[in-house]
Every structure is written in C-alpha cells, then in structure tokens.
Structure 1
Amino acid sequence: MAEAHEAVAFQFTVGAEGVSLNVSYDVFKALLYSGLRSWKLRCRRTLNSLHNTLYPGHPVRGIAWCGIIYTLYIKDHDPSYNIIDWIDSHIFRRYFTPENSKTCAILVFGTGTYFVLIQIRQYILKSLFSYHGWMYQEHGRPVGLGQKLWGGLVKLFIGRNPSLYSYQSVLPQLPLPSLDDTLKRYLRTVRPIYDDIEYHQMEVLAEDFRRTIGRKLQRYLWLKWLISSNYVSDWWEKFVYLRGRSPIMVNSNFYGLDMAYIRPTRIQTARAANMVCASLKYRTRLDHQNITPLMIQNMIPLCSSQYERQYNTVRIPGKDADTIVHYSDSHHLAVYHKGRWFKLMIVHNDQMLQPCEIQIQLDEIIRDASEPAYGEEHLAALTAGERTSWAETRAKYFSAGVNRTSLETIEKAAFILILDDEEYDIGSLNMNSSTQNSAEKSEKFDAYARAILHGKAYNRWFDKSFNFIFSKDAVAGINVEHSWADAPISGHMVEYVLSEDILYYGYDELGNTRGVPRFTAPKPTRLKWLIPESCNILIEKSLAQATKVFNDVDLHTYIQDVYGKGFIKKCKVSPDAYVQMALQLAHYRDTGRFNLTYEASMTRLFRDGRTETVRSCSIESSQWVKSMENPNISKSERIKLLRLACDYHQQQYRDAMTGKGIDRHLFCLYVLSKYFNMDSPFLQRVLQEPWRLSTSQTATTYDEKHFRKLMAQNPDLVRKYGIDDQRNLAPYGGGFGPVAADGYGVSYIIAAEDLIFFHISSNKSAGETDSKRFGERICQAMKDMRDLFEGEIKFEKKN
C-alpha cells in the first residue's frame, strides 16, 4: 500500500503527543500542476466554444463592429433607428448614469446586431452546404454558370482560419430519403443476386411493406429526423456496436499497420517513445482545436465530431449494452509488457514529457524482471471475450479495492501502449534495397497483421479507444475499438504520428531518441491486482473463447505493386470503382455466383455523419463480370461495360455520401418496427441478408506537395532512409475481420501511383472461403483488367 500513501498530499495523526501533520510537497505540487493544467484546458475549450459559436465571424470583429456603432452614434448618425434610445430609457437608465447607460445600450445593440448578422451568414452557409450538385459534375466537363456562382458564394461566406469544430453548426442535417425511392433502389441492387422467382418474391414483400406499415414507420422516422441532428448515428452506435454481445476482438475492432518500407530504428523503446510523443502532440492539437477540418475541394467541410473521443476514452461493458465513457483529460498511459501492467506518467511539472524522457521510463519497464501477479498476465482476455460475461466479472471482482484502482488506471489512460516481446519480421529497411518479392513480403505481413488484429487475445486491451503496439524490433501497429468512430479518424492520426516520428523527432546514429532529459520524471509504477481463483477461472474461460475466435481467422495480405492508380487514371475510370470491379470479378470466380457486397462510404458532409453502404454488386457490374467470362465478347465491348459499371458505382457512391443511401434508412425503419412491435417480413429479409463480401477503402490524407516540402527541409532523410519517393512513406493500411461467417472482409489502400495493399480476412471454419486463394483471384482480376487496355494505354512492365 505504499503507493496509496504516497498519493496523499496531507496526512495527520492524533496521538498522545497531539496532532501530527505531514505534508508531501511533491504530491502537493503534482496536484497543483494537475489542477492548473485542467483549468487552462477548460479556459481554452471555453474560448474555442465562443470562437466556434461566432464562426465565420470573430470576437475581435464583433468588438470592432460595436466600435463602429458607437462612433456613428456619437457622431449623430444613429444606425439603430432609435432602438438604442429605447434600450437606454427602458432598461439601463434606472440603474446607471446617463453616460454609462447609453454606452451599455450601444454595446447591447451592437452585440445583438453582430450576432444576428453571424446567424444570417451561418444560415446562408448551411444552405450552400446543402447543395451537392458539384459531386455529380462529370470529370473533364466545363463547370456550368450555376456551379460557378455557388462556388463563388461558398468562398465569399466560408471564412478563414477555422478550428477543428468551427463548421459543426453550419453542417446540414442528413436528409431522410422517401420510402418509395429507397424501395426502388433496393430492388435494383438485389436483382443480380436473385433468380426470377426470388426477385419476384422480394418485389411482393416490398410492395406489401410499402402499402401497410411502411408509411407509418416512415412518419415516425420523420419525427425523429425533425428533432435530431442526425437520425441515424445514435441508433447505429447503440444497436450495431454497443448492444452486440459477441467478442469485439476480430468481430468489431480493426487494425492499422506501420509504414511498409521504412524501418527508422530497431530499438523498441525509442520507437515507442517517439510515437507516443507524436500522438500526444496530436492530442494537444485536438484539445486546442488547432487541426484544420478536412475539406473537399478546399471548400466543403466534413463533420469533425468523431475526433472528440479519440483519446481518454473507453468502452465499458454492460449486461445488455456497453457504454462509451470519455474523460476530459488524462496524464498517464497504461503500459503492458510481459504480462505486467504499468502506469506511465506523461506529464511532469505541467510539462509533457519528451521522447528521450519517455524512453528512459520505458527502458525501466523493459528491465523490470518482476513476475506477473496471479491472474494479471491473462487479465485483458476479459475484454476479448463475451461482453455480458465481462460485465458481470467487472461488477463482481473490480468494483472495489485495489482491483478497482488499477482497472480505473487502465480505463482512464490516454491510450494503451503495448510492448510486445516478439519480433515482426517484415523484411528490409526500405523498398529500394529489398530483394524479396511480393509473395515473400505477404507471408511475413500476414503474421504481422494477425498480431496487430488480435495478438494472443490477452495482450491487448480491446475496450480502449486504441492500443499502440510495438514489437521487440520496433515495428508499430494500432488496434482500434470501433464504436467511438470510423477508420478514417484513426487513419488521420496514424498518418500524422508516422510522419512526425520520421520527419520531426527522428533518431540518433545508434537508433535512440534525440535530446537530453530536462529532469528526472516519475518512474513507471506497477499496477496491483488481487485476483481470486474464482475470477481467474472466468479470465481463462474468456481466453478460451477468444482463442477459438482468433484461431478461426484466416488473414492474408496481397501487395499489388505491378500497377496502381497511375495506370487506372489513364483508363479514365475512378480508382476506387476500378478496384471494386476487380473484387467483383475475383469474388465471382471464387464463389461461382454474385453476392451482396458492402462498401463503406462516409456521410460526413452532414452533421454527426458516420457511414453509409454502397452496394457494389449491381446490374452493371454483373453484366461486365459475365462478359469477362464469355470468350465471344470483344475487348472493346468489355471496356465499354467496365466503364458503365464504374460510372454506376460512382453514382451510387455519390448518392450514399449525399444522403440517398439505402441501408441506413432501412435499418432505422427496422429499429422502429421492433420498438412498436410491428412484424415486417420484408425488413426481416433485408436485415438478414449476409454481406458475403464486405469491403472498405482506407483513405489517405497525405499531401504530396507537403511531402516534397518536408523532403527539401530534411535532405539527410533521403540518404538515411532512402526516402526519395512518396511511395516509401506509404502506410500499409489495415483491415478487419469478416462480417459474414462464410464471407470475406477486404480492406484496401491505394497507397501510391503503382502500389495497392489488400487485407483479406475470412473464417477457416467456413469451408468455402480461403483468403490466400482470394488474394490470387484479385491478382488475376487486376491482370485481366490491365490486359483489356493493352494497345490503348502504354504500360511499363516491371522486371
């Protein structure tokens, strides 16, 4: 209990000699600095909130406006048309002197009119952002007069220097599609996967739904749309994520990997220290809202609400549903190494620790030779098993005493840091000197990806918003809990951290962190656990469940480095649509039939937007796939069908992004039908259809111009790491587990002009699926699609 005593700033005892008072100066100082930091953070957040309320106006401009009103008034030019005099005589005259009351009246009028002007400007912006015709502009076609006028108005009213949340109040609501349109589009998307009899049955069910309870449910949903900022997001988070009772490991959490071709150091603690500092620097920018919101075409903002819960966040298990808890701040990390849990302070004397100071702390943990406490090594397996069992175990064994204190330390941490005691052999330091072929690289990356996705089930805390994981040879990865946000939010952070690690912090000649420690930071402390045997039995039971889950995962990575988006753009089709068509062709060859296909698109053009489904298997895509299997159809006809399929896919993608999707609308109608106890055979059938091919593109936000600028500022990196091409900084992307028990999960990242990474998952128990085989199908599909354009587009083959 020594740590508990040291954590108390004041202690007093009463004895025969009187009262004895002991003051722990160091603890008192730590508490003082902690309070000061919290106070400063609250003040900054208050100022940011004021700034965002007024944006695209500014408090300084508001003060200037009041000054203009005051100047005009004293010069006998009353801009208020006697309103100031009325406010003066009816409100302030009875409390103040005539001069002071007049000044107050002018300030009230000036502030009020400025706020009204800001409200008008915000309303205009919201109306402009509600227009999405620009998304449907055909590439290469001249922009019409109407769109030019719209673009000019957006630039006129949008304002300058926005903070992260400045545009939240002017983002439009997600529109509610009409029931008829959704049913019509739905029936079109399922035509390729049903035969004539099955399709006719679906038509009958859809029409019966439309004529009976569909209209009533639509009216209820309209009421929800009317009173909420987003009619989908809260239900999506609650019912899709938090009410799920199966393990979140593999089934929900996803992973992200390191840079594919750069290994800046092989010292585990140095790499971890640099990336921890880069991540905390990113957290500070989030807290200060210094990150510019993502903008499409530098004009249209995307919703930033998901960033808020990136740090200091944990998913708490419940008996029927989990909850997401976000803490306003955290001064420590929870670190796992060789079965032991540690608390690592990241703030000392109100200063964030530097990489060299954190590396010293991490080296202390590595050198610690103590054994795990009874039950400690496998403790995190509770977060990998069934959610109800974890909730009951948490309530029974972790609600009081030392176990509660240690559990709160983990759950209130900024994030989790995992120091693995295994190496991830992913090849040479950079791609230019690599002698391995893609197949050899994929084999090594497969094991690496599995380690980051699930590890051993007990060496990841799957409830935290994210775990940063570092191998013994300093290869990094991230495991992310999915309920609090979608993958692009974590991807944005990971890209920032990886670039800061290389281009800002760097390493010395020995591979250690740079700099000299400024002070002796507090040493990391072991967390204490008292795990009874009955609790340990539950831990081992959860581990057995989780082990069964991850042993069933068949995970494979396929590296497409023969060609990429550079060649695809020459084909005059969307790179994403092109890859989706390759997946359709590969999946048809793999299964012999067309299947319902899920591609995630974002709806962040709207406030609190998350995702929508693009149904990639369409009438157009199926016609093109059939043409590729028919030797009697010419290349020119196949190209024509491919372009039609890609164009339709892009149309669907745009519809999904602009609130005209199908699946979220039907999902909300299904939730209402359950709430009102209205059975609907149509909705039951829709929601039970398996997504045998679930796909997602990992978007990149890395700016090539920014890359060139950084390279000019850091010429030594070209020599040290061979970073003479943006491709060398390409992240390897990440992936997720299969959505359907007998299906595939495919994540891909179009990383560079001639580089695409595919992450393919399936279940070994499915029998019909094989991730490596599917990777080979994708490889052949990409080759066949490239061969279509031979003679039309010059293609430089690699050796």
Structure 2
Amino acid sequence: MATLRSSALRILRTAAAAAAPTRSTTQFLTRLAGAAKTRTKTTSTMAADAIKPWPTKMVESHGDYREEEWLEELDHTTNTTYQNQSTLPKLPVPSIEDTLKRFLPTALPLAESKDEEEALKHAVARFPAQAQKLQERLLEKASDPSNENSSWLQHWWNTMGYLQVRDSVVINVSYYFHFADDKTVNVNSNSNTTSTMQIRRGASILYAAGQYRNMVASGALPPETLGRKKTPLCMTAYKYMFHACRIPHLEQDSYRIYDPSVYKHAVVACKGRFYKIPLIDETTGNVLSVLTLESHLQNIMELAGGHETSGPGFGYLTGDNRDVWATARTALLEIPGMEEALEVLQSGCVMLNLDTVSEFDSGKSPVSRAQCGKQFLYGSGSASNRWFDKSVQLVVCPNGKAGLLGEHSMMDGMPVVGLANHIVNTSYQQAVEESEEATGALETYGGVSDIFRDIPLTSRVEEMIETSKGNFKVWTRDRHELDVQSFRGYGSDFMKKAGCSPDAYTQMAMQVATSRLFGKQAGTYEATQTRVFRHGRTETTRTVSPESSAFVKSLLEPSDGLTANDKVDLLRGACQAHSKYIGGAAKGLGVDRHFFGMSLLVEDGEAVPDLYSDPVFVRSKRWRVSTSNLTHPKLENWGYGEVVPDGVGLSYSVHKNHLVFGITALKERGEWPEKLSQYLEDALVEMQLLVEDAANDEGAMPKRSKL
C-alpha cells in the first residue's frame, strides 16, 4: 500500500503541476472579448458598502473548498458571481469498464515490445475483479453526505497534488503570463525614462487589478459560462485570487484568504523591500486614481533607492523547499513585530513587483519573449523581489515589460485569465481618464510604509536566507532553461481550412516534435478543465493514441506507400480522436483521476491490482510532455516548468496567423528547449506542405502562407 500510495502521489504531483489554463480558453475569451467591447465605467465606481464584512477577518483553508464555501452565500448587494454554484452537478465516478476502454488505446502505443503489449492487456483484463472493492469505496465516498455539494476529488487533489508537496513552488507549481506592451505609457509624457515607463505601467496595472478585485469581492463579476449553451462553470477558485496567500507548514501547507472589507491595500516589492500601499478609498470603496498610485510608486522607488543594499532576501525563503521555508517562518515569528508585518504582506490585495536592472541576467531590462519569461517565472535567478506564496504577483520591468506570476495551489489558470484580460484591456491612458473622472483630483489617502522596517533579523534567520539564496540560484539559473518559439508561417485559419481543430492540429505537431526529441512518443498531458462540476478543477487529456501514433510514424518512419492524402487523412483522424477525448475529459470521463482515486482506497494488507505496477501503465502516466493551451491576443507568451526531470513543459497559443510556444526543461538535458523549438518549426512546416500537396491533388489548395 505504501508503495502504491507513493507512486500515486508522484503521478498526481506531475498532473497537478501541469494543470494550467485549459482547452476552453477560446470560448472563455470570446465571452471576455464581447464584454470588453461593451466595457463601461461601472468598474471605476461602486457603492461604499457593496463589499459586506465577513464574520471573521481571515479564513484559513487546508485544501478543502468546503471550508470557505459559506463565503459564497454572503449578502452581496449584487451577488451574481456565485449564483450558479448550487445548480452545478457533482463530478461523476466513471465505471471501471468505461475507464479501461478509454485507457487501453492511450497506453498501447507506448509499449516497447509485444511482450509488454500482452502483459498490459492481461493486467487490464484482470483489473475489474481486482478493483471492484476500490470502485465501491469510491462510489461510497462520492455519495457521502459530506460531499453532497462538493467533489469526491477536490480535497485529495488540493492537498496531495499541491499543499503536501514539499518541493519549491517555483517552476514546479507557478506559471507566468507575459502581457503585451502598453503603447500609451509614453503619451503626453515629459520624460521617457525607464523609471517613468515602469511607474506608469505599474500604476495602471495596479488600478485595473483593483477594479477586478472590487468586482470579485462584491459579487458583481458575472459568473463564467461555457460554449453556446452557456453552461455554468464553478467560481469557487475566485476566492483565492485576491487577498490570498499560501502559508508554509511542516508536511502540509495551508492557504489564507482575508476579508476585503477590512484589507484594502496592496503590497509593492522594490529592490528587495516590501511596502504597503493604499489601493482602495476607505470612504467610497473606489480604487485610488492612477495619478495617486503613480505618486505612491514614485515614493517607493525613492525610498528603496535610498538604501545602499537590497532588502533582506525574504523572497528566497519563499522559493525554497516547503519544510525549509516552514522552519524559517517559525524562526521569523519569534522576532518581535514580525507576525504583524507578515500579516500585512499576506493580506494585501495583490503584490506589484517593480524589478530593477541589477536583478537581470544580462544587467539590462528583458526584451525578448524568452528573457521576459525567465524574469516573470523565476526572476532570472533572483528572488529578492518576490514572495512566491502570494496568489497573484504583477511584475513590471524598467522598460515597461510586464507580466503576472500565479501561485497554482488552490486556483487554476483560467480564472486568472479573466484578471489578465481586464489588465491588458485597460491601457494607461484609459485608466487615467477613467480614474480621474471617478475620483477627481490627486488623493492623499494615507501613504506608503516599509512593512519590515525596524525589525532586526537574528543571525539564525540571516543564515537561513543565505542558504535559501544559494538553493534558489542553483534550482533556477543554474539548472533551468526556457525558450520561446514564435512561428509566423500560419495559424488557426490554415488549420481550420485543413479540416482540423486548431488545438488538436497543434497537439499533433507537438507529438511529431517531441518524438524527434526523445526518439519515441512519450506520455503527453493536456490540461482540460472540469469546472462544469462543483469544485471541479482539471482532468487529463491524453494526446497519445493509436491515431496520433499512426500519424507520427507516417512522418518519422516514411513509407513509399503513403501519399500526401493518406498522411493528411491520418492527421485528421488523429485530430478527431484528440477532440473526442477532450470532450469526455471535460465531462469528468477521463481516466487518470479515476485511477488515482481508486489507488488511494487500497487498505493495508490488501492486494494491489496488477495494472498499477504494469510498466506501460506507469509509463503512460509519466508526463514527459506537459502541455496546455492559452490563446489571448494581448498575451505575448506564457508558461510553466517541466513536471518530470526528463521532460519538457510546453505551453502554447494558437493565433489566427501564428503560434507561440513556451518551452522549459532542465539544462542538464542538453539544450532541449532550443532543439524542441526547431523541431516544432520543422513539424509545422512539414504538416503545411502535406496539407497543401493533398489539396493540390484535390484541386483546392489553401493559400500558402509566407514562412
């Protein structure tokens, strides 16, 4: 049992780390785009009492969404955000037979011999009888009255997949968004210095985040829906977007969310120091004007610049092993005044990180997508200006490049896409005009304060920080590489003309590219959200299938007997199979969560089903290729880390006329990101030529794109 449980946890960890923004991004962004076109100034103002106080100033969650479910029922003035929660269905438990039927085709292509194929089939045949008791226990758990309005999976997933994992959250859990540039930061500026650009961009981003915070906190944010039928989605995770922070403990972390009617500040990090800044007007409930926020940020830069050295380096502690950080935090709490200071930081709406040139690898502001990706994901090896436990951090570089860093434990990426969408669609110029009309002249509400000022550190804490600093640099700068492939040959328009789903077509290109990299197909994960269910998060879409295997072989093991038409037929068949699997996974009918749930219910002394130790089964659940799709016109790129040491993280965006891939891997693997970038381009070009050759034969060739 111990071995099975350990194996299950490793599998869950890789799956959880891979779960970022998901397949329904396109439908979600279509809704957001419509909202943006009719965007009004209602987000600039709100009733002062729209956000009702909680019975307690803080709620601490231990990975169970039911612990804070009552927050959805508060008497908001315009409570629409959670209005669909009670109508959402429960996550189903598939039948064993259906799960095995879906599983076997995804695993057989990964068998490395006929003997492995036969052994897998025999293990599958024995599984129904061997796992019957486990299935009964899982059904019993799902029907337990305590899960009446919840998911049988969510507590296991949140704790074992995230809060109990002891590795650093950096790269393993966190993900980043790279925002498009804001051209208006230099409009009507008397100074085009980098500091002016950084302050203006930071102020407008903070203003937009404050607006979105008000909508979420008041319950005024419309609930998400999916597709033409507008199927409601679970909104539980939105409670973890603002005023939220992960808290380290030995063995298992917790998450704290703070009452937005009490806490109305943000936190700004600059040169390794952390400052409290007023964000919400205490009287009106409105976000402070952009000009006021600019004034505060200018003040912070002057205060931080007055120090000869950077701050104490707390950020390095937050980026270390979770037990190491928990031990260090206990030591911090022994220092007088530290507990109150930590609460100020933890309760802030969001954290704005004003990075400085000295923190970059090159000594210059990042320019390329890859440079920005490294800066946003792991500070290019510097953590002095980060607090990796904060749910949302907004990073702004001196040249105005900006992005978001998300902590993934209790909230997947899709809800954060809504926040990012609001930020990138609120330009500096627009934010200034809106906020001036809403608030009038420059306000002087409060000021900024250095959160940890006059709190001396003990020598023990200083030693801990130095140790964590060394660990962080080794884990990030020394061991990790990140590259970005921006393919300009074609995009989703061409893929649709080829008769393929753009997402599935891109997945097949990635199968070809990664098979070239590894010399064979490997277990591939695409995150698919299951938020049509209450407290649903994600399920695995398995890209490997007999159809995808046949297509990959047609390109990598060419046969004289296959024409371009034959290969395009294989491509379309692979895309159809992939789309069908996604449809089932989104309905809670994948295989990986089901296998995981049953594995946890093996009792001491019981025999473990043979399938769990089958080498092909294990190989099929080892995600050497972790993929996720997020496409937004104003996101330059996004990404996350690989989830196994000999794997790659592969985020992607499929635009009408181009594609962008974010690629991560360990440096010790030998320039994998650079190689995979080239293989992706090769695969996409090769597939384009196939489609065009086949269309020529049919007399209807799509228009060739310029490469």
TM-score, normalised via structure 2 length:
0.80
Q: Partners in 2 of 1:423 and 1:271 — Cα distance?
A: 19
2:459 is aligned with 1:533: yes
**Are the structure 2 counterparts of residues 545 and 47 from structure 1 closer, same or farther at C-alpha, using a change threshold of 3 Å?**
closer
2:621 is aligned with 1:695: no
Cα distance, 1:631 vs structure 2: 4.4
Q: Corresponding residue for 1:421?
A: 356
Question: What is the correspondence of 1:537-556 to structure 2 with a 5 Å cutoff?
Answer: 537-551=463-477, 552-556=479-483
The answer to whether the 8 A contact 1:594-1:617 is kept is yes
Instruction: Give per-residue Cα distances to partners, 1:216-266, cap 9 Å, x unaligned.
Output: 111111011113221112211110101000111011111111116857445
**Are the structure 2 counterparts of residues 453 and 369 from structure 1 closer, same or farther at C-alpha, using a change threshold of 3 Å?**
closer
Aligned residue for 1:733, secondary structure, equals strand
Letter in 2 for 1:408: E
Question: What is the correspondence of 1:441-452 to structure 2 with a 5 Å cutoff?
Answer: 444-452=368-376
Question: What is the correspondence of 1:721-736 to structure 2 with a 5 Å cutoff?
Answer: 729-736=633-640
Q: Partners in 2 of 1:741 and 1:216 — Cα distance?
A: 35
The answer to whether the 8 A contact 2:481-2:667 is kept is yes
Q: Partners in 1 of 2:669 and 2:414 — Cα distance?
A: 30
The answer to whether the 8 A contact 2:490-2:656 is kept is yes
Q: Corresponding residue for 2:267?
A: 334
2:106 is aligned with 1:185: no
2:448 is aligned with 1:524: yes
Q: Corresponding residue for 2:59?
A: none
The answer to whether the 8 A contact 2:318-2:387 is kept is yes
The answer to whether the 8 A contact 1:589-1:777 is kept is yes
2:161 is aligned with 1:240: yes
Cα distance, 1:202 vs structure 2: 2.4
Letter in 1 for 2:705: K
Q: Corresponding residue for 2:571?
A: 642
| Same amino acid, percent of matched pairs | 28
Cα distance, 1:789 vs structure 2: 1.8
Aligned equivalent of 2:342, options 362, 382, 407: 407
2:561 is aligned with 1:606: no
Letter in 1 for 2:665: S
2:683 is aligned with 1:785: no
2:588 is aligned with 1:659: yes
The answer to whether the 8 A contact 1:340-1:372 is kept is no
Larger radius of gyration: 1
Aligned residue for 1:283, secondary structure, equals helix
**Are the structure 2 counterparts of residues 500 and 645 from structure 1 closer, same or farther at C-alpha, using a change threshold of 3 Å?**
same
**Are the structure 2 counterparts of residues 677 and 494 from structure 1 closer, same or farther at C-alpha, using a change threshold of 3 Å?**
farther
The answer to whether the 8 A contact 2:374-2:482 is kept is yes
The answer to whether the 8 A contact 1:356-1:513 is kept is no
The answer to whether the 8 A contact 1:356-1:514 is kept is no
**Are the structure 2 counterparts of residues 472 and 321 from structure 1 closer, same or farther at C-alpha, using a change threshold of 3 Å?**
same
Question: What is the correspondence of 1:700-711 to structure 2 with a 5 Å cutoff?
Answer: 700=632
**Are the structure 2 counterparts of residues 164 and 423 from structure 1 closer, same or farther at C-alpha, using a change threshold of 3 Å?**
farther
Gaps of 5+ in 1: 1-35, 53-58, 60-160, 426-440, 701-728
Letter in 1 for 2:219: Q
Task: Count the aligned residue pairs.
Answer: 607
Q: Partners in 2 of 1:482 and 1:577 — Cα distance?
A: 25
Question: What is the correspondence of 1:436-515 to structure 2 with a 5 Å cutoff?
Answer: 444-455=368-379, 456-501=382-427, 504-505=430-431
Aligned equivalent of 1:771, options 661, 666, 673: 673
Q: Corresponding residue for 2:542?
A: 615
Cα distance, 1:167 vs structure 2: 1.2
TM-score, normalised via structure 1 length:
0.71
Cα distance, 1:332 vs structure 2: 1.2
**Are the structure 2 counterparts of residues 772 and 753 from structure 1 closer, same or farther at C-alpha, using a change threshold of 3 Å?**
same
Gaps of 5+ in 2: 1-47, 56-68, 187-193
Q: Corresponding residue for 2:123?
A: 205
Aligned equivalent of 1:314, options 234, 240, 245: 245
Cα distance, 1:372 vs structure 2: 5.8
2:644 is aligned with 1:745: no
Question: What is the correspondence of 1:588-599 to structure 2 with a 5 Å cutoff?
Answer: 588-599=515-526
Q: Corresponding residue for 1:172?
A: 89
Aligned residue for 2:508, secondary structure, equals helix
Q: Corresponding residue for 1:381?
A: 316
Aligned residue for 1:739, secondary structure, equals coil
Aligned residue for 2:660, secondary structure, equals strand
Q: Partners in 1 of 2:623 and 2:230 — Cα distance?
A: 35
The answer to whether the 8 A contact 1:588-1:594 is kept is yes
Cα distance, 1:395 vs structure 2: 1.3
2:202 is aligned with 1:299: no
**Are the structure 2 counterparts of residues 46 and 533 from structure 1 closer, same or farther at C-alpha, using a change threshold of 3 Å?**
closer
Instruction: Give per-residue Cα distances to partners, 1:351-391, cap 9 Å, x unaligned.
Output: 43111101100000111256669994311101100100111
Aligned residue for 2:368, secondary structure, equals helix
**Are the structure 2 counterparts of residues 576 and 770 from structure 1 closer, same or farther at C-alpha, using a change threshold of 3 Å?**
same
Q: Corresponding residue for 1:225?
A: 142
**Are the structure 2 counterparts of residues 612 and 534 from structure 1 closer, same or farther at C-alpha, using a change threshold of 3 Å?**
same
**Stretch moving more, 463-472 or 174-183:** 174-183
Aligned residue for 1:410, secondary structure, equals helix
Cα distance, 1:38 vs structure 2: 9.0
Cα distance, 1:683 vs structure 2: 2.7
Q: Partners in 2 of 1:668 and 1:653 — Cα distance?
A: 20
Aligned residue for 1:762, secondary structure, equals strand
Cα distance, 1:536 vs structure 2: 1.0
**Are the structure 2 counterparts of residues 514 and 573 from structure 1 closer, same or farther at C-alpha, using a change threshold of 3 Å?**
same
Q: Partners in 2 of 1:595 and 1:282 — Cα distance?
A: 40
The answer to whether the 8 A contact 2:483-2:677 is kept is yes
Q: Corresponding residue for 2:553?
A: 626
**Are the structure 2 counterparts of residues 442 and 523 from structure 1 closer, same or farther at C-alpha, using a change threshold of 3 Å?**
closer
Q: Partners in 1 of 2:390 and 2:305 — Cα distance?
A: 25
Instruction: Give per-residue Cα distances to partners, 1:496-553, cap 9 Å, x unaligned.
Output: 1110235731589xxx999863432322111223211111111111121121111211
**Stretch moving more, 756-765 or 788-797:** 788-797
Q: Partners in 2 of 1:756 and 1:261 — Cα distance?
A: 21
Cα distance, 1:41 vs structure 2: 4.8
Instruction: Give per-residue Cα distances to partners, 1:252-284, cap 9 Å, x unaligned.
Output: 111111116857445111111111111110011
Letter in 2 for 1:169: S
Aligned residue for 1:563, secondary structure, equals coil
Letter in 2 for 1:197: D
Letter in 1 for 2:668: S
Aligned residue for 1:411, secondary structure, equals helix
Cα distance, 1:474 vs structure 2: 1.5
**Are the structure 2 counterparts of residues 339 and 488 from structure 1 closer, same or farther at C-alpha, using a change threshold of 3 Å?**
same
Letter in 2 for 1:744: V
Aligned residue for 2:585, secondary structure, equals helix
Cα distance, 1:645 vs structure 2: 0.5
Cα distance, 1:183 vs structure 2: 2.2
Aligned residue for 2:337, secondary structure, equals helix
**Are the structure 2 counterparts of residues 175 and 457 from structure 1 closer, same or farther at C-alpha, using a change threshold of 3 Å?**
same
Question: What is the correspondence of 1:95-174 to structure 2 with a 5 Å cutoff?
Answer: 163-174=80-91
The answer to whether the 8 A contact 2:314-2:465 is kept is yes
**Stretch moving more, 484-493 or 285-294:** 285-294
Q: Corresponding residue for 2:43?
A: none
Over aligned residues, Cα RMSD in angstroms? 3.0
Aligned residue for 1:284, secondary structure, equals helix
Q: Partners in 1 of 2:680 and 2:184 — Cα distance?
A: 28
Q: Partners in 2 of 1:50 and 1:423 — Cα distance?
A: 46
Cα distance, 1:487 vs structure 2: 1.0
Aligned residue for 2:167, secondary structure, equals coil
The answer to whether the 8 A contact 2:184-2:429 is kept is no
Q: Partners in 2 of 1:615 and 1:162 — Cα distance?
A: 38
**Are the structure 2 counterparts of residues 671 and 659 from structure 1 closer, same or farther at C-alpha, using a change threshold of 3 Å?**
same
The answer to whether the 8 A contact 2:177-2:638 is kept is yes
